[in-house]
């Protein structure tokens, strides 16, 4: 089972401190890694809760996980597919549950709109070949024909909506009941509790000259802090693409489940079938070769990874049996 060499622990801590110890470095970082057995093989927090703040960063500090939410929404979607309530390639079912997607058109370079050439499938939404980017709201046209290009955007928010409409419960409630409770996760939530908010990291920003300061606008999802009653939460959109708050140490419990073929190793609770996890780790966009090799880092075959806007990153090396998360709260 994957373990760290004894010499690696001080080396990792030194590398993290090198980033948080500088005057204009990252104010605070939390980092944790896990193996296939669900054992935490490394965890460390360094720096402060925010720039100029006296509170130290801790392992139980709460982060806005932003787009790291996407992986969990995708897991929820695959669960609902296993239950037979959704299908990966059923255009009619998508349009029945989300009629907004049936009439959507495609924006041309000259500003004109043309009909889409094919229907939108759940597989397209999950693989970002749906073509609504984040600066477009839900009612805007597509940027390209469905399935023709892979472009990061709001597709997973639509996946979350489909999960809600197929199951009849809010996405956050679905997470809590079907993913987090079986994994014994207590503090991943779209609506942070008062206790979570007491440990929330401050949002920071880096200016063009490299200087770091607190972000004067605070967090980008502040409305979620103000919703306390069921009625207040009900009127807020559950963003499947970026809505969760939590801590890396609990996110690891999801990663260890994926490493262990869909079953949480600490309890034996099955979240997904092994065949479903295999499908999730299979290349879904072979028509776009080398899409995952656009940076200088290399990954082993069958690796999944993702990131969140305020510099939060997760990875799952399934063949090696190791995964982890490192999180900061700084823009960009």
Burial class (CB in 10 A: 0-12, 13-18, 19+), 31: buried
pLDDT of 79 > 50? The answer is: yes
End-to-end CA distance of the chain: give it in Å, rounded. 36
> What does residue 222 show for φ and ψ, rounded to 5 degrees?
-65, -30
Spatial contact of 53 and 228, defined as CB atoms under 8 Å apart? no
Domain coordinates in residue numbering, the chain:
64-202+220-285
Residue with tokens 């896990």: 34
Mean predicted lDDT score pLDDT of the chain: 91
Helix (H, G, I), strand (E, B) or coil at 138: coil
- pLDDT for residue 115: 84
Distance CA 329, CA 215 (A): 10
User: 5 pairs with which residues across the strands?
Assistant: none
* Nearest alpha carbon to residue 87 among 100, 96, 75, 78: 78
Residue 202 CA, chain-centre distance (Å), reads 19
Residue with tokens 């690696």: 8
Residue with tokens 């080396």: 11
- pLDDT for residue 134: 45
Q: What is the pTM of this model?
A: 0.91
pLDDT of 63 > 60? The answer is: yes
Neighbours of 99 (CB within 10 A): 9
pLDDT of 267 > 70? The answer is: yes
* DSSP label at residue 223: G
pLDDT of 319 > 60? The answer is: yes
- pLDDT for residue 162: 98
In this structure, which topology does domain 64-202+220-285 adopt according to CATH?
Answer: Beta-lactamase (3.40.710)
- pLDDT for residue 131: 57
Q: How many helices (H) and strands (E) does the chain have?
A: 10, 12
Write the CA distances from 326 to 7, 200, 214, integer angstroms: 20, 16, 20
- pLDDT for residue 1: 65
- pLDDT for residue 6: 85
Comparing 103 with 28, the larger pLDDT belongs to 28
- In DSSP notation, 41-97 reads EEEEEEEBSSTT-SSBP-TT-BEE-GGGHHHHHHHHHHHHHHTTS--TT-HHHHHHH
Distance CA 48, CA 52 (A): 8
- pLDDT for residue 116: 84
pLDDT of 285 > 90? The answer is: no
Edge-to-edge strand list for the sheet holding 40-47:
40-47, 28-35, 322-327, 312-317, 303-308
- In DSSP notation, 255-285 reads HHHHHTTTB-TTT--BSS-HHHHHHHTS-S-
pLDDT in tens, 127-154: 987 655 444 455 566 666 666 665 667 8
- pLDDT for residue 322: 96
Distance CA 111, CA 86 (A): 34
Confidence of residue 103 (pLDDT cuts 50, 70, 90): confident
- pLDDT for residue 135: 42
What average pLDDT does the segment 265-294 reach?
84
Residue with tokens 């799952």: 316
pLDDT in tens, 190-249: 999 999 999 999 999 999 999 999 999 888 888 899 898 999 999 999 999 999 999 999
Confidence of residue 101 (pLDDT cuts 50, 70, 90): confident
Spatial contact of 90 and 162, defined as CB atoms under 8 Å apart? no
Comparing 111 with 15, the larger pLDDT belongs to 15
Quick one: angle between helices 69-82 and 155-167, nearest 10?
Answer: 40
- pLDDT for residue 69: 98
């Amino acid at each position: 089972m994957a373990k760290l060499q004894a010499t690696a622990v001080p080396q990792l801590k030194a590398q993290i401190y090198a980033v948080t110890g500088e005057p204009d470095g990252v104010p605070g970082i939390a980092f944790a890694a896990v193996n296939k057995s669900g054992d935490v093989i490394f965890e460390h927090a360094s720096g402060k809760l925010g720039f100029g703040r006296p509170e130290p960063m801790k392992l139980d500090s709460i982060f806005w996980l932003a787009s790291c939410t996407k992986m969990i929404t995708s897991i929820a979607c695959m669960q609902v597919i296993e239950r037979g309530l959704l299908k990966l390639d059923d255009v009619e079912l998508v349009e029945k549950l989300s009629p907004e997607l049936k009439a959507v058109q495609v924006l041309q370079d000259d500003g004109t709109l043309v009909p889409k050439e094919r229907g939108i499938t759940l597989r397209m939404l999950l693989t970002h070949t749906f073509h609504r980017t984040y600066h477009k709201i839900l009612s805007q046209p597509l940027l390209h024909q469905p399935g023709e290009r892979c472009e990061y955007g709001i597709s997973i928010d639509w996946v979350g909506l489909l999960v809600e409409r197929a199951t009849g419960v809010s996405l956050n409630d679905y997470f809590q009941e079907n993913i987090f409770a079986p994994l014994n996760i207590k503090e991943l939530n779209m609506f942070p509790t008062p206790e979570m908010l007491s440990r929330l990291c401050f949002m920071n920003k880096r200016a063009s000259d490299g200087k770091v300061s607190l972000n004067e606008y605070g967090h980008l999802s502040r409305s979620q802090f103000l919703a306390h009653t069921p009625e207040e939460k009900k009127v807020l959109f559950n963003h499947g693409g970026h809505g969760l708050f939590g801590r890396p140490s609990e996110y690891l419990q999801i990663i260890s489940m994926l490493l262990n073929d869909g079953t949480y190793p600490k309890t034996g609770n099955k979240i997904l079938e092994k065949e479903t996890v295999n499908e999730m780790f299979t290349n879904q966009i072979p028509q776009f070769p080398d899409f995952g090799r656009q940076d200088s880092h290399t990954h082993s075959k069958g690796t999944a990874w993702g990131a969140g806007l305020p510099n939060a990153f997760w990875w799952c090396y399934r063949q090696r049996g190791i995964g982890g998360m490192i999180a900061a709260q700084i823009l960009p």
